[in-house]
Structure formats: C-alpha cells, structure tokens
Structure 1
Amino acid sequence: MKQTKSYLVSLTIICALFFFFGFITWVNGVLIPYFQICLELTNFQASLVLFASYSAYFVMALPCAWILKRTGYKKGMVLGLIVMAGGTILFLPAAYTRTYGLFLAGLYLTGTGLTLLQAAANPYIAVLGPIESTAKRVGFLGISNKVAGMISITLLGSIFLLNADEIIAKTANLNPAQKSAMLDEYALKIVNPYIAITGALLLMAVFIYASGLAEIDDTQSSTQPGGKSRQQKGSVLQYPHLLLGVLALFFASACEMIPVDSIIIYSRALGLSMAEARQFPTYGLCAMLFGYLSSILLIPRYVSQQQALQFAAVLGVVLATIAYVSGGMTSIYCLVLTGFGTALLWGTIWGLALRELGEHTKVGGALLLMAVIGGAVFPLLFGRLIDANPLAPQRSILMLIPLYLGILAYATWGHKLAGWSKQSANVLS
C-alpha cells in the first residue's frame, strides 16, 4: 500500500510538471505569428522561435545528465524550474525594446531549463514502473501536457493575437514612425502574462523542493520484462536500439511540432485570416489528446508499444500524402489529424529505447533529449519551403513522409537490435 501511494504521489507530481511543460512549450505556436507581426518577420525568421527553444535540448542534454548524476532527479527538477523562470523573465526587456535577439535568448534559456526538467522527468517516469508500460504512463503525462497546451494557446492566443488582422491592415497604411509606435504598443501585450508565468514557475520549484517526490533506482531498467537482469555494456554507444531510437525521436519531434507550432503559418499561406488560423493549434492538441487517451486504454493490454508505433507511422504517411495532394482546408485538417498519431510517438520510442540500459539510463535519456532538436531543424525547413512555394505551400508537407518512414523502420526492426553485429541482432524482446 505504501509503495502504491508513493507511486501515485510521484506520478501526480510529474504530471503537474508536464502541465508546466505544456503551457510553456505549446505557446510557441502563438508566439510565432505574434513575433511575425510585432517584429515584421518572414516565415523562416519566425520559425527561429522553435530553433531557439529546441536547440537547447541538443546543446544542454549531456551537461544536464552530468548535473543529474550529482543532484539526483528531484533537485534537478527544482533547478530546471528556476532556469526556466530566468528565461521567461527575459521576455520583459525584450518586449520593451522590441528586440528579437532578446526574445530568442529568453526562449533558449527557457529551453535549457526544460531540458534539465525533462532529462530528469522522462527517465524517471520510464523506470517508475514496468518498462513495457512506459507508453501508458507517458499517456497520463501527455494528457496533462496537451490540456495545458490547449489552455495556453487559447488563453495567451486571445491576448497576443487579439485584433491581429486589424493591426496588420492598419500598419500597412501607416508611415514608418506611426507603424513603429503601434507595434511597440502591441509588443507589450506579452509583459503581464510572462510576469505571471515566471512567478508560477518559481512557486512550482518551491513545491517540488518541499514535496515527497522519491528518488528512484534507475538501474532497474536493466531488468527484462521477465525479471532477468541483462549484463551491462561498457558504453552507451553499444546499444543500437538506443541510438536508433535517438534518430527515430529526431524525426518524431518534427512530426509532433509542425501540426501545432507551424500550422498557423501554413494556414495563413493557404489564404486563411489570422482569426481563423489561430484556432488550428488547439485542434492539433485535441487530436493529440485523443491519441494519449488511446495509449492509456490500449497499451500494453491490447497492443504493444511496437505495434502502436507502427500504426502511428503508417497513419502519418497516409495523412501527409492526402494533405499534399488535396490542398486547401482538407490539407489543413489532415495535418491536424496527424496529431493523433504523434501522441503515440514520444512514449513508445522512449519505452523501446531505454530498455535494459541500467546505469546508462541518465545518459541514454540525455541522448534522446538531444534528438528534440528535430523540432528546431525541420520547422525551419518547413517555413523555408512555404516561403519558397507561395503558390503551392502544401509542398512543404512532403518533408514529413520520409520522417514517418524512418520511424516505421525503427518500430519494425530498429528497436530489436541488441548489438551491432549480426549475431546479436533481433534478441531484445
């Protein structure tokens, strides 16, 4: 009973953390068009929002793993929240000076804090229970994350993008001085919300520090589902199922970010108004929410993590193909619906990639976090493709198809490899 209570307390606290992840992360979908207006950016320039946020994962993941080895999971989470607060407070001078570089610096620092948090939280949740049910536990976290994202996009979108179409129309007819004054005022919409966000992050740090969140022994991840312990290898590079999982997550990060964070610029390129386009990130998160609910109900009782990942990859290929050939509103809604499958990607890849790592779990988790840079690189390419094809923006969707095919390859055989030699292939259960 005591162990069950500790499990539920830990799961609840991590769910609360993922609520903060979601609120901070998914607002990027609103920040992109907001910065595009107040800073007069192209689609490519505006997509640097995602690059600044997610490049931090690549740069800081291994240093964060080093920090966690010395602080433990709990203190690492507290430190991550404090670093995030340092990033969000930078939005204040950035707004008052209307300086894109400061905004990007704030996003990078926030991303660094998120990296430390996730470097602690993701391996923690993976080994909190049986490794084969990781995707189910991640389903609970995903629901918390996506509900927070829906609240964030709806609430902050109604503030940051209020009367955006009217502002765009007005500034088009103003002289440079008048236009600058109007955009200076518009940029200040971000100040009060980010003061509140900074305060909430610091309060959450205090709560985590004072909580009963238990440290766990991550060497249990070296135990196989049947209870046998596998001999540990000397280097994390000797685990192909992990390294191929990193590549799969690199692709998956792009597939997850684009239907939410890039869908406004895609919808605008297809001719929709800002008032119409800003609704679609919420729809994408709703699709993800249903995906996470499905993972909770089905994994691992009815379908394995491998089968769920295969389904998500095939669904992504089908929907991306339809989105490309159709165009218009059908294309937008197909992109939205890919969110259902992307909800299955994160938890299943983490669950398959972190099996039997034992003492290498923290470093393995850091390598997986580095793969999140896919959410920085591919949206930039997506924005560039839209800029390059103003008459056929649906061509940008084509980039998703090879990404989903790469994920399908991992789900089919890559996750089974226990070693790089032929003799050791296909032995992981």
Structure 2
Amino acid sequence: MREKSSLIPMLIIGVLFFIFGFVTWLNGSLIPFLKVICDLNEFEALFVTFAFYIAYTVMAYPMAIVLEKTGYKVGMQLGLLVMAVGSLLFIPAALSAEFLLFLVALFTLGTGLTILQTASNPYIVLVGPLESAAMRISIMGLINKSAGVLAPLAFTAYILSGIGPVENIASDQLELVAIKLVEPYILMAGILSSLYLLVKYSSLQELEFTSDPYDNNSIFTFPKVVLGAVALFFYVGIEVIAGDTIGLYAQSLGVQNATALTSYTMAFMVIGYIVGVVFIPKYLSQENALIGSSLLGIALLAGVTFSSTSSSGISEVLWGWSGIGTIPDSITFVALLGLSNALVWPSIWPLVLEDLGKHTAKASALLIMAIAGGAILPLLFGKISELSGNMQSTYAYATVCYLFILMYAVKWHKMISWNGDERE
C-alpha cells in the first residue's frame, strides 16, 4: 500500500539525503589528504572508497532483516546513530595518522549509511505514485548532490586554511593537517545525533504492504531485481570513479586545487537531477531517461579517452567565463559524467520495486548491496591505471558500466522470468 505524498515526510527524508551526500562525497576530498598524510600511492589511496562502499555489501542484507522486524522509521534512527559513532572514530584515526583506523571509521560510516539507504529509498519510491517515483528520487538526488558540491569545497577550504595547496604541504605540516581533520567529524557526529532525535519524534509513518502473490518466492526468482542490482553495481562504480578519481587525475596532470574538482562532477549531477524533476514523468519516462543516460555516458567516456590533456575548445566554453582557471579538456569530460549519471539511480529503483509487495525490503537490500560497485570498480580502476601508467586511457574500460545499464533499460527490466519472458 502506498501512502499519499506529504510535505513533512519529504522534508525529513530530504534532510537525510543531504547527509548522505555530504558524508559520501567528502571521500573525494579526503583521498588526496590521506595520500599525503599516510604516504600512500594512488592504488592504496583508493582503499578509502573500498572501505566505505564495501560496507554496503557486507551489511545491507542483515539490515533488511532488521528493517523487517523494526520497521523503516526505527531503521533510519539506528542508521544515524551508527554514522555518529563512525564520525567519532575519525578522532583517534586523525590523531594517530593511522590509515587502518581511517578505514575502520569509513567502514562504520558506510554501515550507518547502508541502514539509512535501505530504509529511505523504498520510502521515497512507495510514498506516492510509482510513475512519478523517479521525479521524487530526483528531488532527493538534487538535495544529495548539492551537498556533494558543498562538501569538497567546504572541507578543502577549512583544512587548507593557513596551509596552502595540498600538493605543497610540507612534512612539518602533516601533523597540523591530521589534527584539523578532527573538527569536521566532531561537528558531523553532533548533527547526526540531532537528526536521530528529529526522526524519532517526527510524524513519519511506517510503510505497510498488503499481501501479495509472491509471499513464498525467493528474491532471486525476480530477474528484474537481480539484474537491476547488477546495473546499480555498475552505476555506482562509474559514479564513484567520476567523482572520486577526478582529483587524482587532476593531480597527475599538475592541476592546482585538484581536491575541489569533485564539486564539478557533483554540479553536473545537480543539473541532471533538475532535468529529472522537470521532465519526469510528464515529458520523459523513467525507461527513456535510463536509455538516454547510458548513451550519454558512453559518449562522454569516449571524450575523456580521446580529448586533450590541455585546455582548449570545450573547457574554454564551459569554464572560460567562470574564473575557475585552466581545466584540461579530458578532466572536463570526467566532470560531465555527472550529467549522464544523475538519472540512473532514480530510474532503476522504481523499475525494480514495482509490485514487489512484502519483498520490497529484501529487494531494496539487494540494490543497496550493489553499492559495492563503488568499492570494487574504483579499486580496479586504480590498479589498471597503476599497471598501464596512463589514467586517461583507463577511463575507457568504464564503458562496460553504461553498456550493462543500457541493456537493463532496453530489455532486462521487463523480464518476469529467467526464461526470458517479458511483461507486456
């Protein structure tokens, strides 16, 4: 049973999605700092994304079982408390400059986000009409990625105040940088604890499901769920590659203020979400949005691979008026991947969850587990880049991500059995 959309639930979930974005996209800025503080190579630095996103795979299914017993509202509260603990773990990590402790803190943050995401995404899908679900998720994504734009800029500006560019940090400044990492996460722990109280005493209602004909089915008997999870695996992988490697790639080309470039990718995602809010479902179906996103992503990866590593045509058009400075064309194409990625998540969720009834929590868990793509694919990207010695050409391998998403959009989301039968 779907509840009618109301302003208060949307506002509360919107606040949670802002926190998702702020916490998640801090990683893109954190990576270059930890690379310097902990003396890491590029492959080792990308264990930041691995530790954070692998939590989704390890914890999602157990958390679905918890949600079935506690309900979605209590699950959101639990997720916020776990995230607060994860934020506090950054204190000993930063003071000791021990990379393993940073990874434990990131895994704990990822665990809290796993619970929140497993509860909140189906809530947004099912709180209103299914055909407009992608529009509602786009609104949430707009909030989420706005936080993704702000987080790297605010984090970088604070940490580097009085120090200078991360590339120029001297050895005697490393302890100061490590200590300055503590305060943002203490503040975050306080905010997360406050949000716990907000959700606890809010008017959010539980989602209720009427009985359905699939009560005894395993979630793995639904091809659209399993293949949708794989599509999300590839999507999150390329989303994280676009957002979290752009700084490393810019560093390799000697671009100044490389740690802030994640914000450029997030800015284009914000534009993409605005398109979703305006055009879905009135002018653009969720299926066609997914097809268009896939094709655009393939084209942009070709742009990354074959464009110049100096600033010319497209970069001058996009950035010349802004005062940002010289941005190589290939980096511009990486940032533009945010545009192709924006509507993938909002489009896949409603296609997967339609008419699943009581299987919704487990299907949601499977989709959340697919966020492991953000752990595995960037790490694979880093290893290929290290072995090839050419990060630019490595982006071409990510084309497989969009090809799988394209197949799901065109055919696989319609499958009602593993025999290939499709719904009409």
Q: The residue matched to 1:419 in structure 2 has which SS?
A: coil
CA gap of 1:267–1:219, structure 2 versus 1, over 3 A, is: farther
Give 1:258 shift. 1.5
Once the two structures are overlaid, the 10-residue window that deviates more, 253-262 or 77-86, is: 253-262
Give the Cα separation in 2 of the matches to 1:352 and 1:87. Answer: 33
Is 1:187 paired with 2:174? no
> Superposition pairs for residues 62-101 of structure 1, below 5 Å?
62-101=61-100
Q: The residue matched to 2:136 in structure 1 has which SS?
A: helix
Residues 199-225 of structure 1 show CA distances to partners (whole Å, capped at 9, x for unaligned) of 0000000111011111122459x7xxx
Is 1:309 paired with 2:312? no
Give the Cα separation in 1 of the matches to 2:36 and 2:287. Answer: 43
Is 1:426 paired with 2:422? yes
Give the Cα separation in 2 of the matches to 1:170 and 1:144. Answer: 33
Once the two structures are overlaid, the 10-residue window that deviates more, 152-161 or 33-42, is: 152-161
- Say whether the 8 Å CA contact 2:301–2:395 is kept in structure 1: yes
Residues 162-220 of structure 1 show CA distances to partners (whole Å, capped at 9, x for unaligned) of 4766564463xxxxxxx3x5312221111111111100000000111011111122459
Is 1:280 paired with 2:261? yes
Q: Which amino acid aligns with 2:183?
A: N
Residues 49-80 of structure 1 show CA distances to partners (whole Å, capped at 9, x for unaligned) of 11011000000000100110111011110010
CA-based RMSD of the aligned residues comes to 1.7
> Which residue in the other structure is 1:212 paired with?
203
Residues 70-117 of structure 1 show CA distances to partners (whole Å, capped at 9, x for unaligned) of 110111100100000000100001111111111110000010000000
Give the Cα separation in 1 of the matches to 2:43 and 2:382. Answer: 5
Once the two structures are overlaid, the 10-residue window that deviates more, 253-262 or 312-321, is: 253-262
Give the Cα separation in 2 of the matches to 1:49 and 1:327. Answer: 29
How many residue pairs are counted as aligned between the two chains?
404
Give the Cα separation in 2 of the matches to 1:30 and 1:38. Answer: 13
> Which residue in the other structure is 1:176 paired with?
none
Q: Which amino acid aligns with 2:399?
A: I
Give 1:385 shift. 2.7
Is 1:104 paired with 2:64? no
Q: Which amino acid aligns with 2:235?
A: A
TM-score with structure 2 setting the length: 0.92
Residues 286-321 of structure 1 show CA distances to partners (whole Å, capped at 9, x for unaligned) of 100011010111111111111000000000000101
Give the Cα separation in 2 of the matches to 1:60 and 1:167. Answer: 34
Q: Which amino acid aligns with 2:32?
A: P
Is 1:202 paired with 2:183? no
> Which residue in the other structure is 1:342 paired with?
341
CA gap of 1:264–1:87, structure 2 versus 1, over 3 A, is: same
CA gap of 1:96–1:322, structure 2 versus 1, over 3 A, is: same
Q: Which amino acid aligns with 1:313?
A: S
Name the one with the larger helix percent.
1
- Say whether the 8 Å CA contact 1:219–1:357 is kept in structure 2: no
Q: The residue matched to 1:217 in structure 2 has which SS?
A: coil
TM-score with structure 1 setting the length: 0.90
> Which residue in the other structure is 1:384 paired with?
383
Instruction: Mark the runs of 5 or more structure 2 residues left unpaired by the alignment.
Output: 310-327
Instruction: Mark the runs of 5 or more structure 1 residues left unpaired by the alignment.
Output: 172-178, 223-229
